[in-house]
A and B are shown apart, each in its own frame.
Chain A
Amino acid sequence: MTTAPVKSNVPARSGLRAWLSSDAPVSRGHARVVQLYQGWQKLYDNKLAFLGFLIILGLVLMAIFAPLLATAEPNAQDLSKRLLAPGAPGHLLGTDELGRDIWSRLVYGSRITLLIVGIVAFTAPVFGLLIGTVAGYLGGWVDQVLMRLVDIFLAFPRLVLALAFVAAIGAGIESAIIAISLTAWPPYARIARAETLTIRNADYISAVRLQGAGVMHIIVGHVWPLCLSSIIVRVTLDMAGIILTAAGLGFLGLGAQPPEPEWGAMISAGRKFVLDQWWVAAMPGMAIFIVSLGFNLLGDGLRDILDPKKSQS
């Protein structure tokens, strides 16, 4: 979290630019903005990471403006126009076995993908952070018990565990979200614990403790902020994995239920006629691929930007 000194060979700038890249911030807010701007510039300089950023931006915009972008109702069936090839008039990416427009279904499907990723990417890290920091800060038997729990969940194959959970609580988007969150938290707990172990004996923690701060206050207010940057990097890198797991559950018929336009479920439906009408299965797969590639590119870049220690790997 140290602010890297601004390179001196940058030519002097004027106006907003100068204010944004100032190496002598006048206030806390200014320093934050400068730091953000530096991060943004690094992101912009890293072409692949920036491409990833654009892809994700595209996904978010697609989800927001889905009704404008879609050329047809995602669930409107027209059996007279079933299995049309891509490029057919009015159907950019063709139609599926019920005559539904694949492009429109992909557009609306982005909402489901974003919903799943958004919720899992919030709940799993927070839960992992809580477990990991508590274990690391308290140590002793609490640490032993919690880390054993983490080991047990890590010993399960992720997809099988998610499958079992969904089978137990019933198929659907909500179950898929719960199942994926339940399988995604252990790595965060590991990371958070490792970070906490290096922080817990720092002088500033002792200082806060001597002022009479409670355990939870110290953990949430003074340990969490320092764990955040490594957790954020990990979250971005995990998002692609979350998308792929969600799509896998959808493919197995355990995620979003028909007729919802979930990408994995669409591939599953197209599987039956993949040899003759390849586009029904190929198009949603491309969508999944592009979005997870976007998250991977961005995560890879963010690791370099947020985590200078590990920039080599």
Chain B
Amino acid sequence: MSIADSTATVARRGFSSPLYKVLKGLIAGLFSIAITMVGLLFVTFIIARVMPVDPVLAVVGERASQEIYEAAYKAMGLDQPLYVQFLLFLKQVVMGDFGMSTLTARPVVEDIARVFPATLELATLATIAGVGIGVPMGVWAAVNEGRWQDQLIRLVGLFGYSMPIFWFGLMGLLIFYGILGWVGGPGRMEIYYEDIVPVVSGMILIDSLIAGEIEIFWNAVNHIILPASILGYYSIAYISRMTRSFMLEQFSQEYITTARVKGVSETAVIWRHALPNVMIPLITVIALSYANLLEGSVLTEIIFSWPGLGNYITNALLSADMNAVMGGTVVVGAIFVGLNLFSDFMYKVVDPRAR
């Protein structure tokens, strides 16, 4: 409320300072995020209530007596009207409590804290590949518009958009693990290495280095390389395509013609003049692709038995563990909203015109 108050005072004094504008934008942004988050929670809540699963039975078990059942029914607040139940749920979420998972018998928050780093590790590597390879590829395609290089990159992208990711992963496992034996199989590392490294960040590549377990580190690299490459391929397909179209847009601008007429070298035109202007919309694209990887790698995680967020939510759904599903979905939604906000912010940092 303090932010709102201060804006009001600023407004009353009749300031039209940049600070006022920033605050106003911030409040509008926060308000719309709050609405979106409440809506997200509401949809999840409704889905959970529509589920043909008795949440009480899931807690007390099928052999519980009628009294125990009714006590649990009351304790869970199910005798209250739906909107009261929703408000209670909201209150819990705000306090960071998603309840217990019936599947793992642990608090959902703890579960998510355990599985999320695995997803983060995978998505980050894939995004690094996507930016590192996708951006230069897109630039290359734009520079050679209409020629064979452009067609080739277009095809690479279209292949990525057309491949069912679970099948791609399966075939990757068949070829590189089953036939060639170059990479490790499903999972994050060999079973006999598990639970040796103390958990610091939750990301095995980092934790094993901290613990000085080089052998485990290489084993983990061996296991992550295939799923990360497969997710990375999708990221490359998306980012290169967007980079290409943004670059072409810049090439048609007059300042590029001016630079060329002045005699600026083609390399400088591409990398010093056009690319910085492309970086602005590209940040949004990269953030979006990162968000999609964080939330959308469900099928990849299942194929590679990767103990991440997508795997967790899917397992919870299939065994009707509604607290876990709601918790996971809320986290995913929050990531999405957060990354959107971050890209808006970066927009303003990079582009002076947007301030």
Contacts A152-B36, A288-B167 given: A240-B161 contact, CB under 8 Å?
Answer: yes
- Determine if A152 and B158 form an interchain contact, defined as CB atoms under 8 angstroms apart: no
Complex Cα gap A163–B311 (Å)? 12
Q: Which residues of A contact B329 (CB under 8 A)?
A: 156, 160, 164
Proximity bits, B225-261, A CB within 8 Å = 1, else 0: 0000000000000000000110011001000000000
Q: Among the listed stretches A100-108, A135-143, A289-297, which one makes contact with chain B, having 4 or more residues with CB under 8 Å of it?
A: A289-297
Proximity bits, B43-83, A CB within 8 Å = 1, else 0: 11001001110000000000000000000000000000000
B296 lies within 8 A of chain A by Cβ: yes
Q: Which residues of A contact B244 (CB under 8 A)?
A: 313
Q: Which residues of A contact B20 (CB under 8 A)?
A: none
Max chain A Cβ within 10 angstroms of own Cβ: one of B173, B248, B333: B333
Proximity bits, B156-179, A CB within 8 Å = 1, else 0: 001101111111101101100010
Proximity bits, A298-313, B CB within 8 Å = 1, else 0: 0010000000000011
Q: How many residues on B have C-beta within 8 angstroms of the other chain's C-beta atoms?
A: 52
- Determine if A252 and B170 form an interchain contact, defined as CB atoms under 8 angstroms apart: no
- Determine if B164 and A275 form an interchain contact, defined as CB atoms under 8 angstroms apart: no
CB proximity to B under 8 Å, residues A135-170: 148-149, 151-153, 155-160, 163-165, 167-170
Q: How many residues on A have C-beta within 8 angstroms of the other chain's C-beta atoms?
A: 45
- Determine if A157 and B295 form an interchain contact, defined as CB atoms under 8 angstroms apart: yes
A278 lies within 8 A of chain B by Cβ: yes
Complex Cα gap A42–B213 (Å)? 61
Contacts A157-B292, A267-B166 given: A252-B47 contact, CB under 8 Å?
Answer: no
CB proximity to B under 8 Å, residues A238-255: 240-241, 244, 247-248, 251-252
Proximity bits, B189-201, A CB within 8 Å = 1, else 0: 0000000000000
- Determine if A267 and B164 form an interchain contact, defined as CB atoms under 8 angstroms apart: yes
B40 lies within 8 A of chain A by Cβ: yes
Contacts A164-B44, A252-B302, A293-B159 given: A158-B167 contact, CB under 8 Å?
Answer: no
Q: Among the listed stretches B93-101, B104-112, B268-276, B317-325, which one makes contact with chain A, having 4 or more residues with CB under 8 Å of it?
A: B317-325
- Determine if A285 and B164 form an interchain contact, defined as CB atoms under 8 angstroms apart: yes
B140 lies within 8 A of chain A by Cβ: no
Q: Which residues of B contact A36 (CB under 8 A)?
A: none
B337 lies within 8 A of chain A by Cβ: yes
- Determine if A312 and B248 form an interchain contact, defined as CB atoms under 8 angstroms apart: yes
- Determine if A292 and B52 form an interchain contact, defined as CB atoms under 8 angstroms apart: no
Complex Cα gap A282–B167 (Å)? 7
Q: Which residues of A contact B245 (CB under 8 A)?
A: 312-313
CB proximity to A under 8 Å, residues B293-341: 295-296, 298-299, 302-303, 310, 313-314, 317-318, 320, 325, 328-329, 332-333, 336-337
- Determine if A170 and B52 form an interchain contact, defined as CB atoms under 8 angstroms apart: yes
Q: Which residues of B contact A98 (CB under 8 A)?
A: none
- Determine if A160 and B164 form an interchain contact, defined as CB atoms under 8 angstroms apart: no
Complex Cα gap A240–B165 (Å)? 12
CB proximity to B under 8 Å, residues A263-287: 264, 267, 271, 274-275, 278, 281-282, 284-285
B35 lies within 8 A of chain A by Cβ: yes
Complex Cα gap A267–B163 (Å)? 13
Contacts A157-B332, A164-B47, A167-B320 given: A267-B170 contact, CB under 8 Å?
Answer: yes
| Contact residue among A158, A168, A170, A300 (Cβ-Cβ distance under 8 Å from B296) | A158
Contacts A159-B299, A289-B163 given: A300-B158 contact, CB under 8 Å?
Answer: yes
- Determine if B161 and A278 form an interchain contact, defined as CB atoms under 8 angstroms apart: no
Contacts A158-B296, A285-B170, A312-B249 given: A152-B39 contact, CB under 8 Å?
Answer: yes
- Determine if B166 and A289 form an interchain contact, defined as CB atoms under 8 angstroms apart: no
Q: Which residues of B contact A158 (CB under 8 A)?
A: 296
- Determine if A274 and B161 form an interchain contact, defined as CB atoms under 8 angstroms apart: no
- Determine if B296 and A313 form an interchain contact, defined as CB atoms under 8 angstroms apart: no
Q: Which residues of A contact B318 (CB under 8 A)?
A: 167, 252
Residue on B nearest A153 in the bound complex, by CB:
B43
- Determine if A267 and B161 form an interchain contact, defined as CB atoms under 8 angstroms apart: no
Complex Cα gap A278–B167 (Å)? 11
Q: Which residues of A contact B168 (CB under 8 A)?
A: 285
Residue on A nearest B299 in the bound complex, by CB:
A248
Complex Cα gap A244–B161 (Å)? 9
Q: Which residues of B contact A168 (CB under 8 A)?
A: 47, 50-52
Contacts A155-B337, A285-B171, A312-B248 given: A293-B162 contact, CB under 8 Å?
Answer: yes
In the assembled complex, the CB of A310 is this many whole angstroms from the nearest CB of chain B, namely 9
| Contact residue among A167, A248, A252, A284 (Cβ-Cβ distance under 8 Å from B51) | A167
Max chain A Cβ within 10 angstroms of own Cβ: one of B43, B51, B173, B178: B43
Q: Which residues of A contact B165 (CB under 8 A)?
A: 244, 248
Residue on A nearest B319 in the bound complex, by CB:
A167
Complex Cα gap A262–B248 (Å)? 41
Contacts A252-B302, A312-B248 given: A165-B162 contact, CB under 8 Å?
Answer: no
Residue on B nearest A282 in the bound complex, by CB:
B171
Q: Could you write out 18 A-B pairs with CB less than 8 Å apart?
A: A148-B36, A152-B40, A156-B40, A157-B292, A157-B332, A160-B295, A160-B296, A160-B332, A163-B314, A168-B52, A252-B302, A274-B174, A274-B178, A284-B167, A289-B164, A295-B162, A300-B154, A312-B245
Q: Besides the contacts A153-B43, A313-B249, what 15 more A-B pairs have beta carbons closer than 8 Å?
A: A148-B35, A156-B329, A157-B295, A157-B332, A159-B299, A160-B332, A163-B314, A244-B164, A248-B165, A251-B166, A252-B299, A285-B168, A292-B164, A293-B158, A312-B252
Query: Top 10 A-B pairs ranked by shortest CB distance?
Result: A285-B167, A313-B245, A152-B39, A157-B295, A293-B162, A292-B162, A275-B178, A168-B50, A167-B317, A155-B333
